[in-house]
Amino acid sequence: MDRLDNTIRPYAWGSTTAIPRLLGVEPTGEPQAEMWMGAHPGAPSRTPRGPLNEVIDKAPESELGQRTVARFGPRLPFLLKILAAGAPLSLQVHPDLEQAKEGYADEERRGIPVDAPHRNYKDANHKPELICALTEFDGLCGFRAPDAAADLLAGLDVDSLKPYVDVLHAHPEDAALREVLTAVLSADPEEMTHTVTEAAAACSRLGGAYAPYADIAHHYPGDPGVIAAMLLNHVRLQPGEALYLGADVPHAYLSGLGVEIMANSDNVLRCGLTPKHVDVPELLRIVRFEASDPGVLRPEASADGEEVYETPIDEFRLSRYVVSEGAAPRDLTRATPQILLCTAGSVRAGEQVLAPGESVFVPADDKAEVSGAGTVFRATVAA
């Protein structure tokens, strides 16, 4: 197995302290948003044998195993991250696999450069993802029931929001959510800025259930995404709890530290809370307009102590082990590639001793045992 040297991405929404605290180092004062572990060409992990993507390119079947290559091609099909949100991320949705293929092919035909700011589909893959909280973690996930969203907006007592309240009470669920989100994102910018400013002041005054939206408005003053966010479920994860985010479901991370795993894709359609491009027609085509429960996941323990976060896709499988000093080593050998990440204590993975935030890549079928006293997350392929 190879110890990984991983890149930390300094996105503006990142916490300045959470990742340094995990790693046991002094903060730099700059935001540290995500630490990437994997073979994504944008920031591949470095190994003693070279960048992980190049290591895999040289011998994909040896590194990934025949089964993984046959199913997903000669590339690591997942990306593992430590994510530290100090401010809300953009409100967004991801396409399903068919939508991604069609969207990518269409933009290729139209000759839109892949790095163009208005490009929606950077690749032809979907981007399901799972976030597991290491600290208390706040997010938005899926639409509220229209009546509940109407009550939340009505409680602000803002005149310009009252037509949205009436629509949410009067229409069938999907039509109501579609009509209101369309209206919010298509409104006159000056009028919407005024509405958001009034709504933000009311959220600050009321507190309680409105507090998350006051914080969002603080970071994104005047952004229509503040009103769009109020159509969504607010969820607070406790450490060890997780959210699975499938296709077409609007969501945003607000604050906290977590382990995130996703399929290798950069396809994002934004709804707001961002200075980046928002393609309203394409977004409305992709979003699934139905109320849903956020579906907080808790790990399911197996006989060997593995705690698995069950998801309905094959590109990744995330689990964790809590190991105790003096206990027999746990055999994690598997016919698929793995990344092992320590998040607490001190864990021995093979000959490597891992402190919090440290990780290793384990090629398919390589012997992998863990022991020590701490917590280790295991990222691999479900198929």
Residues tagged active-site: 270
Question: 207: how many CB neighbours lie within 10 A of its CB?
Answer: 9
Q: In 207-324, which residue ranges form alpha helices assigned H by DSSP? A: 211-219, 225-229, 280-286
Contact (CB, 8 A) for 81 and 129:
no
Contact criterion met (CB below 8 Å) for 369 and 360: no
Crossing angle of helices 173-186 and 162-170, rounded to 10° = 160
Tokens encoding 301: 């323990």
Q: Could you give the CA distance from residue 156 to residue 165 in angstroms, rounded to a whole number?
A: 11
243, β-bridge pairs? 131
Instruction: Give the CA distances from residue 131 to residues 57, 137, 179, 245, 271, in Å, rounded to whole numbers and listed in that order.
Output: 28, 9, 30, 8, 20
8 Å CB contact between 150 and 241: no
Cα–Cα distance measured from residue 371 to residue 329, given in angstroms and rounded to the nearest whole number = 5
Q: Are 348 and 354 in contact (CB under 8 A)?
A: yes
CA distance 360 to 354: 8
